[in-house]
Amino acid sequence: MHPILIKLGPFTIYSYGFFLAIGFMLAIVYVTREAKRVGVDPQKVSDMAFYLIVSALVGARLLFVLTELHDFVENPLEVFKIWKGGLVFYGGFIGALIAGIWYVKRKNMPLWKTADIIAPAIALGQSLGRIGCFSAGCCYGKECDLPWAVTFTDPNSLARLGVPLHPTQLYESALDFGIFLFLIVFRKRKTFEGQLIWLYSLLYAVARLVVESFRGDPRGFVGGMLATSQLIGIVMIPISIFMLMKLGRKKPGFK
């Protein structure tokens, strides 16, 4: 609701960037502790987190810029102002995936075991990041008359102003946190390495498809019916199911 958290003269802290930073910090704390619990070098995992965060930010921003290219042609410097919002999660996921594979191979770390360490942290970070989205007004919902509808009034907000909207950012924040809790409970019951990361991928894709149906910002595919993340989510559901079935058939103890 308030895009600017603190402003003292030229010094400004944006709500979006603040919650994003908190999400990243909590994710790093989690993966470091979880790595120690499962017997993976926590220093390697915390070092990897730096590469994942940078690559995720670059990938998320790049995909947003590509999908909204017309808005950046006349003002190219706006590309770098990520604190105002404008990150596409799946772009960040792809960027972090590439960096993560490179890092675990370089450090000779167990791929799927490391991925399972990271999976709950992704959902935890997202749940905080979406609160930042809500504060900035990006990723806003359709107009509605529900009791919990939210009306944005701050002129700095990226949302439509003066009309009651679905708080889609909070919908996704709650779902992301629910995925985090589920993975935390399930992690000690998993039957093969890689199960958590692909469960996360499946659950998030389904959650994103549901939330996107309430979004009110512009759609880019199939005549404006589908958003970029919906299209990617539709692809990720069968891929996630396939990988869960494939890895589940392997013998325990593989990397």
**Whole-model pTM?**
0.87
- State percent of the chain over pLDDT 90: 55
Tell me which long-range contacts 237-245 makes (C-beta under 8 A, separation of at least 24): 237/202, 237/205, 237/206, 239/201, 240/198, 240/199, 240/201, 240/202, 240/205, 241/202, 243/194, 243/198, 243/201, 244/195, 244/198, 244/199, 244/202
Q: How many helices (H) and strands (E) does the chain have?
A: 8, 4
Q: Stretch 25-53: mean pLDDT, rounded? A: 92
pLDDT in tens, 183-241: 999 998 999 999 999 999 999 999 999 998 898 876 655 555 677 778 888 999 999 99
Q: Are 125 and 179 spatial neighbours (Cβ–Cβ below 8 Å)?
A: no
Q: 73: which DSSP letter?
A: S
- Identify the three-state secondary structure at position 165: strand
User: Is pLDDT above 50 for 255?
Assistant: no
Q: Which helix (H) or strand (E) is 151 found in, with range?
A: strand 150-151
> What pLDDT score was predicted for residue 128?
94
Per-chain mean pLDDT for the chain = 87
Q: Stretch 31-59: mean pLDDT, rounded? A: 90
pLDDT in tens, 143-179: 999 999 999 999 888 889 999 999 999 999 999 999 9
Residue 119 CA to residue 99 CA, distance in Å, equals: 15
User: Is pLDDT above 90 for 252?
Assistant: no
User: Is pLDDT above 90 for 119?
Assistant: yes
Residue 117 CA to residue 40 CA, distance in Å, equals: 9
Q: Are 112 and 252 spatial neighbours (Cβ–Cβ below 8 Å)?
A: no
**Confidence band (pLDDT; 50, 70, 90) for 70?**
low
Residue 227 CA to residue 233 CA, distance in Å, equals: 10
Q: Identify the residue whose tokens are 């990897």.
A: 48
Residue 204 CA to residue 110 CA, distance in Å, equals: 24
User: Is pLDDT above 80 for 86?
Assistant: no
Higher pLDDT pick, 252 / 213: 213
Q: Stretch 129-155: mean pLDDT, rounded? A: 92
